[in-house]
Amino acid sequence: NAAITACEKGNEWTKALQLLSVMTQIKVDSDTISFNAAVSACKKSGEWKEALEVLSVMAQTRMKSNTITFSSAISACEMDSAWMQALQLWSKTAQGNLHLDSIIFSATITACQSGSQWRIASQFFSLMAKRELDSNTITFNSMISACEKSGEWEKALQLFSVVLEPSVSSFNAVISTCGR
């Protein structure tokens, strides 16, 4: 686990996957943490297809996935506008009776924002509120950026008005939206 985590931190996703493969081949006990580190390594390098492949291997080997596994995989999908894959992962998470926390919702919203899918992002944002999950600045920034990409400046201003701790990114996103 430590070696794969080191690869993750060093953005060495190929080495992380190689280590995971070797662990499996020589029958070294790998666990959910090993796989999570490999998914995260792929995420940090923008390799969403490989992250999904690690999930597939987990399922094939009957390795139990968790909320961390899916939030990392969904976050990997935001890198390449793979929002449809992110939605499929969110659905699997919901069907798998895993805890749907604000991290998974935020990752899904950001993936939708990356794919210019502001309406879908907005639906997830509303669902978050209904479930009484906390939205953080990153979630709001993703929603504001989604509105910006779609020219929904009024919605962006409305969202900005309720951000508790706006960041420079919050200001930049709303200014950019109003400038369209």
Cα-based distances in Å from 119 to 27, 64, 104, 149: 46, 32, 18, 11
**Both structure tokens of 110:** 């950001």
pLDDT value at residue 163: 79
Longest Cα–Cα distance of the chain, Å, equals: 58
What stretches in the chain show pLDDT beneath 50? Answer: none
pLDDT value at residue 1: 66
pLDDT value at residue 142: 87
